[in-house]
Amino acid sequence: MTKYVVKRLLLMIPTLVGVAVLVFFLMRVVPGDVVELRFAGESSFASKENLDKERARLGLDKPLWKQFVDWMGGIARLDFGVSMWTGAPIIEEIRLRFALSLQLAIMSTLIAVLLAIPLGVLAALKQDTWVDYAVRIFSIAGLATPSFWLGIVFILMLLIVFKWLPPMVYTPFWVNPVQNLAQLIWPALAVGYRYSAVAMRMTRSAMLEVLREDYIRTARAKGLWEKLILSRHALKNAMLPVLTVIALEFAFLMGGLVVTEQVFNLNGLGLLFVESVAHRDYTLTQALVLLVAAVFIFVNFLVELAYAWIDPRIKFR
């Protein structure tokens, strides 16, 4: 077991190196660079010489392979360098935003799971009744409603009904949990509702499938209570595909919440991502992509562990 975990963690390294190569070269295929963009407005004043000097300062004049090796060397020492746009250390740029995005992703996922699994099971049990239809309409509506729009509705409602606005400045959880939750619960609800839809449908269909299995009939023939059949015999088997969906969604939430972040005035990774690409801030973009990739791989690894824990047929190798 320990050996398996270590092996899997080590296997993450080649994947991440692959991601690093890809993002490094893709970024450089995009036309324009950070120097050009920064001085674009004043290009008439900035001489070619000055631009070259600036490029040299950022190391952009070196051959590509040298830049890559330097960058990888830094990463190996966990030194991500400085942002090409702001000059601040990457770690500093990312730290708080990562904390915020991670927390928001976790909260949204929790809300999505809390909605999806009970509703999915309920819909499966009441298949083709009005309960089933109601649940499915509720979840389709979630999928059809952009979370930022729902976010705006939340804010307006809080403002109009309770004459209260959630805090607009991010307070880390460890500084003031109440303040922190008061701010993040709303975007988490908006996002979680939307993302519950897919997991709900997956729960429903997996549950329907499992309930048709022979071993469920065997359990019924044993005279077990219906509740026990559900909780012990059906749910565990039905959770396997749902787990995968939830993990994928979680990884997506880490970097993909651009508009929602804007609506709630959150400085998360999503916005930073967009800006860093727009600025051709190579170092920052590369660090962000690597970070999200690492989260993605790690979450998948956790899912695999969970699979093996639930299903004894899956062996640690």
Partner 1 sequence: MGVLLSVQSLVTQFSTSSGIVRAVDGVSWDVDEGETVALVGESGCGKSVTALSIMRLVAQPAGRIVSGHVVFKGRDLLTLSEEEMRRVRGREIGMIFQEPMTSLNPVLTVGRQLTEGLEIHLAMRQTDARARAVELLGMVGFSDPARRLTQYPHQFSGGMRQRIVIAMALACNPPLVLADEPTTALDVTIQAQILELMKALSRRLGVAMLIITHNLGVVARYADRVNVMYAGRIVERASARELYRNPRHPYTLGLLRSVPRLDEPRRARLQPIEGQPPDLTRLPTGCSFRPRCAFRVEYCATEEPPLREVPDATHVSACWEAERVGSSNGGPRNGPPSPPALGSTSAQPGRSSRHGE
Which of 233, 245, 246, 285 is the binder for partner 1 (CB under 8 A)? 233
Q: Report if residue 63 touches partner 1, rule: CB under 8 A.
A: no
Q: Strand runs (DSSP E) across the chain, as ranges?
A: none
Of 130, 264, 257, the closest CA to residue 194 belongs to: 257
Largest CA distance in the chain: 86
In the window 195-224, what residues touch partner 1 (CB under 8 A)?
213-215, 217-224
Q: Report if residue 53 touches partner 1, rule: CB under 8 A.
A: no
Rounded distance between C-alpha atoms, residue 93 and residue 102, angstroms:
15
The sign of the torsion formed by the CA atoms of 49, 55, 58, 61 equals negative
Rounded distance between C-alpha atoms, residue 254 and residue 108, angstroms:
10
- Is residue 191 a contact partner of residue 260, using CB atoms and an 8 Å limit? yes
Cβ proximity to partner 1, 194 vs 233, nearer residue: 233
* Six token digits for residue 300: 């998948």
Q: Report if residue 131 touches partner 1, rule: CB under 8 A.
A: no
Cβ count near 277 (within 10 Å): 16
Q: Report if residue 1 touches partner 1, rule: CB under 8 A.
A: no
Which of 3, 77, 227, 313 is the binder for partner 1 (CB under 8 A)? 313
Terminus-to-terminus CA distance in the chain, angstroms?
8
Q: Report if residue 228 touches partner 1, rule: CB under 8 A.
A: yes
In the window 281-310, what residues touch partner 1 (CB under 8 A)?
310
Least CB distance to partner 1 at residue 202 (A): 18
Q: Report if residue 101 touches partner 1, rule: CB under 8 A.
A: no
Q: Report if residue 57 touches partner 1, rule: CB under 8 A.
A: no
Q: Report if residue 311 touches partner 1, rule: CB under 8 A.
A: yes
In the window 234-273, what residues touch partner 1 (CB under 8 A)?
236-237
Q: Report if residue 42 touches partner 1, rule: CB under 8 A.
A: no
- Is residue 12 a contact partner of residue 297, using CB atoms and an 8 Å limit? yes
Cβ proximity to partner 1, 66 vs 220, nearer residue: 220
Q: Report if residue 183 touches partner 1, rule: CB under 8 A.
A: no
Least CB distance to partner 1 at residue 153 (A): 39
Least CB distance to partner 1 at residue 3 (A): 22
Q: Report if residue 227 touches partner 1, rule: CB under 8 A.
A: no
Give percent helix, percent strand, percent coil of the chain, each to the nearest 5: 75, 0, 25
